[in-house]
Amino acid sequence: MSREIRNIVILTGAGVSAESGLATFRAADGLWEDHRVEDVATPEAYRRDPVLVHRFYDARRARLCEVEPNAAHKALARLDAEWPGELLLVTQNVDDLHERAGSKRLLHMHGELTSGWCLACGERFAWEGPMGEGASCLQCGEVGQVRPDIVWFGEMPYDMDRIDEALRRADLFVSIGTSGAVYPAAGFVQTARCCGARTLEMNLDPSIGSTLFDESRLGPAGKLVPTWVAEMIGP
Ligand code: APR
């Protein structure tokens, strides 16, 4: 590697949680196979059928109790704890497996299943268990105005300013377990690359933007990520 690596940005997608037993989106058995995206993951869908949308996210939230972080989540948490330079883990995942593994320098750009958002007062708060369409706001008490704190299609992902800034300072950008089908995350590799970062992808199959990476490692994240982390900070 020509340039010394100090600042790292890592992007993860559904593939990093696949070995924990959470379905990816665009696989044959992926979540969107049972539900059309426009039925469950858009603001219009929520207005049209809040019962269906709540049922979908309540089921996904309940599923979190049945799964555990895998070797990839744990390796990334170890890197976070031991990496002396800047590090930012940006996940598109709405599960809580990165934080349960111990990652601290973490942003959930597509929101979190374990968070609720009150449309009446604008407050966001931790949420456990089912939400349903009749939930009361933990802040203002309004009933029926709490929605899953998930970024739906057509909505603006969270923390884009911070992410963009980190990408521009990155010496290394690493993408793990994402198909590269959804923007703006799919464009992070270009931003980092244009600002001089080296780029590495770890995925089961080549992603859509695979050719933009300096290096592509193909295989399961549970195997590839611990190997890479050991290269970065030792076994
Ligand atoms: N290890 C590594 N990669 C894997 C594994 C694994 N064990 N299993 C699957 N993959 C790869 C697949 O090859 C695929 O390229 O993970 C990728 C998952 O892609 P998607 O299902 O498209 O998920 P993701 O890229 O996270 O989707 C982005 O789309 O619908 C939205 O908001 C949702 O955050 C999500 C976004």
pLDDT tens digits along 206-229: 999 999 999 999 999 999 999 999
The reply to whether 221 sits in an annotated binding site is yes
Which residue minimizes the CA distance to atom 30 of ligand 1?
Answer: 25
Cα 6 to Cα 76: distance, rounded to the nearest angstrom: 16
Domains and their CATH numbers in the chain: 1-21+69-110+157-235 (3.40.50.1220), 23-66+112-150 (3.30.1600.10)
What radius of gyration do the chain's Cα atoms show? 18
Give, for ligand 1, the residue of 56, 175, 204, 225 to mutate: max count of ligand atoms closer than 8 Å to Cβ.
Answer: 204
List the pLDDT tens digit at each of the 235 positions of the chain: 457 999 999 999 999 999 999 988 877 666 665 788 888 999 999 999 999 999 999 999 999 999 999 999 999 999 999 999 999 999 999 999 999 999 999 999 999 999 999 999 999 999 999 999 999 999 999 999 999 999 999 999 999 999 999 999 999 999 999 999 999 999 999 999 999 999 999 999 999 999 999 999 999 999 999 999 999 999 8
Amino acid at 119: L
Q: How far is the CA of 128 from the centre of ligand 1 (A)?
A: 25
Nearest atom in ligand 1 to the alpha carbon of residue 202 is 2
CB 27 within 8 A of CB 204: no
Helix, strand and coil content of the chain, in percent to the nearest 5, comes to: 35, 20, 45
1: number of Cβ within 10 Å:
8
What interface predicted TM-score (ipTM) does this complex get?
0.98
- Smallest Cα–Cα separation from 35: which of 15, 12, 55, 65? 55
Q: How far is the CA of 95 from the centre of ligand 1 (A)?
A: 13
